[in-house]
Structure 1
């Protein structure tokens, strides 16, 4: 069994761009624990524990998704009180992201997985254990990213560090 999730796949350059926003956010909420730059992602669907056969079926189904590449603009910094997460999000969710997330969610649900969230709120977690003041919810200078891929990721501890490793990448376009 592996702990898996579907997420947008950011390039190394995009992760470095996100890192600049993370540093800005941490200056406003310094006690928060930064997410490692190679773990920055935007979840489409969290699966949890998945066996090898389920994983094969999920990959086969996801390979059939034919969605266009799209532009994602992240321009809003905020916190979730529970769990204590400092995040970057789009103020306007692009329709292609919504369509991709709905297709991924449908194939996951067809495989018997349930969404643990009642409403999809796309965001990039920048830091955890963030006790943020209400004034922290603010617009930021937009970060515009070209999204060309999404991936099935594995969440695992390696060398006492949580790592998100892409198992299968899927092209958009």
Structure 2
């Protein structure tokens, strides 16, 4: 039985990805032990599904399409830099999301409910809108990275504005060089 590693996401325009890469480049100047997200892989995750039977793609698409129908487009801004779970022991470095965040959260809920009806019921993480820039592999250099992020954040206003008018089901193939993302389906809002 063929399996695919899947997630629902909001894809970003290339100009925003370039701006995020520029921000990431300033953070990379610190010799911290971080696995940085590659520029072409930047996205806003709505729901990570994990290993899924390939035969379920159509069913997932139909369920989510029905659930999000009529949601309507909305706008988000990427701004700020932060860390999960926090700056003392950073595991994830992120860019913040603001703007019509309530609509983003409602869209997440609609996707969550649709996939839950198909058995994807992992609610282990509270939804916190963000864009992952990188993940630490160890704490080496993390204090310097946090300090650098604070300096950059002082002068950082808005990284970019995004008009969200569709979501995508993406397959993530893990390789030694990093994940390869393939968009399987895009659904308009």
What per-residue deviation string (whole Å, max 9, x for no partner) do you get for residues 97-140 of structure 1? 01110000001111111235331011111112264335546563
Indicate the residue corresponding to 2:6 in structure 1. Answer: 4
Distance in 1 (CA, whole Å) between partners of 2:164 and 2:22 is 19
Distance in 1 (CA, whole Å) between partners of 2:171 and 2:76 is 23
The answer to whether 1:156 aligns with 2:173 is yes
Which has the larger displacement, 106-115 or 30-39? 30-39
Distance change (3 Å), C-alpha of 1:146 and 1:25: farther
The residue matched to 1:141 in structure 2 has which SS? coil
| Unmatched tracts of structure 1, length 5 or more | none
TM-score normalised by length of structure 2: 0.79
**Larger radius of gyration, structure 1 or 2?**
2
2:136 to 117, 120, 129: 129
Does the 8 Å CA contact 2:64/2:115 hold for their aligned counterparts?
no
Indicate the residue corresponding to 1:168 in structure 2. Answer: 185
Distance in 1 (CA, whole Å) between partners of 2:157 and 2:181 is 27
Indicate the residue corresponding to 2:73 in structure 1. Answer: 69
| Unmatched tracts of structure 2, length 5 or more | none
1:111 to 114, 118, 129: 118
Distance in 2 (CA, whole Å) between partners of 1:117 and 1:36 is 26
Which has the larger displacement, 79-88 or 144-153? 79-88
Which has the larger displacement, 6-15 or 76-85? 76-85
Instruction: Tell me the matched-pair count.
Output: 172
* Deviation of 1:31 (Å): 3.7
* Deviation of 1:94 (Å): 1.4
The answer to whether 1:80 aligns with 2:87 is no
* Deviation of 1:30 (Å): 4.5
Which has the larger displacement, 139-148 or 35-44? 139-148
Distance change (3 Å), C-alpha of 1:18 and 1:117: farther
